[in-house]
Amino acid sequence: MADKDGLQIAKDYQVDVPFAQQGDFHVKGAKNLDWGMKKHLTNIFNPETGKTVMFAFDHGYFMGSTKGLERLDLSIPPLAPYVDVWMATRGALRTCVPAGLKCGVALRVSSGSSMLNDDLSHEVVAVDIEDAIRMNADCMAVQTFIGGDGQLSSLDNLSKVVNAGFRYSIPTLGVVAVGRDMERTDRFFKLATRILAELGVQIVKTYYCDNFEEVVAACPVPIVVAGGKKLPEEEALTLAYNVIKGGAAGVDMGRNIFQAENPVAMAQSVYKVVHEGMSDKDAFELYKELKSK
Ligand code: 5RP
C-alpha cells in the first residue's frame, strides 16, 4: 500500500500536448483494443468528429417516473435524429424504443438503489452479459461510488462487467457518481476518473468542474459529461460548449434535454455544439428559432 503521506500533489498535466498513444483510431486509449470493441466504440463516437451525443434517460432505474419521462414511448423516439447513443435500461429500450431507430446503446447494467433510500451507493450487476449481447449493447454502464459507502461493491461490480466486456468485446462505461456529501472538485474527479480508467473501462462519464482540462488530460480514455440538474437552456448549452472546449469526447445529457421546454430542439442544438463546434450563443439562438416553429 502506498504511503499516502509521501504522495506528491500531481500538477504536470501538459494540457496542450495531445494524447501520445492515439494511433490511427479515433477513440482515445482504444488503439490496442480488439476489432469488435472498436466497432462498438465507432457506434458511439462518430468517426468523423470523434464525439458523441449520448442521451441519458435511465433515471427510472432509481427514480421511477420522472418529469419529462412520464411516457417513454412518446417522448423518446422523436429525439433519435439528434442522438448518437441511448443510455437506458433494458426495460425502457425493449418496451418503448423501436429497434429500427439508428442509435447506439449504452445499456445500464447496475441497479439496486431507489430514491426511497438515503444511501444510494449500494448496487449490484443486474444484467447478464448474455442479455447485453442480445440487446446489441455498444457499452455497459456501471455506477461507481468512489469515496462513498458503496465504493468496494461498486468497484467489484465494475470489474466484473469489465471482465465480461473483454470476453465478448463490449466496452464498459464507468459512471462517476457524486453523493450528496461528496466534493465536486477537480481533485475528486481526477481521482475518480483515473481509478475507473485504470480498472479497465473504455469510457468514463463524469461531471464538469474547474480545471476540467486537467481531468481530461489525466484520463487515458474518453470522458463524456453528464448534464446534471436541469439548468435554463442557455446555461445547459454553455455547459455543453465548455465541456467540448475542455476536451470531453461528448455529453451524456439527460434532464437538460428531456426537461427542456422543447426537448427535440434542445437535442438538435446540443448536437450542433458537440459535432459542429457551434458556439453556445449561436446554439441558443438556434434553440429559440427551432422552438418557435
Ligand atoms: C445517474 C446517471 C444518469 O444517466 C445521469 O446522471 C443522467 O444524466 P443527467 O444528470 O444529465 O440528467 O448516470 O448517475
Residue 281 annotated in active site: no
Question: Would the pLDDT of 180 be above 80?
Answer: no
Each domain of the chain, given as residue ranges in start order, spans 41-222
Ligand 1 — pocket residues by CB below 6 A? Answer: 56, 58, 87, 143, 175, 177, 226-228, 253-256
- Residue-wise pLDDT for 184-228, tens only, equals 899 999 999 999 999 999 999 999 999 999 999 999 999 999 999
Query: What local confidence, expressed as pLDDT, does residue 202 receive?
Result: 98
**Residues 6 or more apart whose Cβ sits within 8 Å of residue 141:** 58, 87, 106, 107, 108, 109, 110, 172, 173, 175, 205
- Residue-wise pLDDT for 231-288, tens only, equals 999 999 999 999 999 999 999 999 999 999 999 999 999 999 999 999 999 999 999 9
Phi/psi at 27 (nearest 5 deg)?
Answer: -110, 130
Instruction: Tell me the pTM.
Output: 0.96
Query: What local confidence, expressed as pLDDT, does residue 117 receive?
Result: 86
Q: Residue 188 and residue 147: Cα distance in Å, rounded?
A: 9
Is 3.40.50.1820 the CATH classification of the domain at 41-222? Answer: no
Query: What local confidence, expressed as pLDDT, does residue 11 receive?
Result: 85
Q: Residue 119 and residue 156: Cα distance in Å, rounded?
A: 18
Query: What local confidence, expressed as pLDDT, does residue 2 receive?
Result: 62
Strand residues in the chain grouped as ranges (E): 52-56, 85-88, 104-108, 110-111, 124-125, 139-144, 172-176, 203-206, 223-226, 250-253
Q: What percent of the chain has pLDDT over 70?
A: 98
Which protein residue's CA is at the shortest distance from atom 7 of ligand 1? 254
Q: Which atom of ligand 1 is nearest to the CA of 228?
A: 10
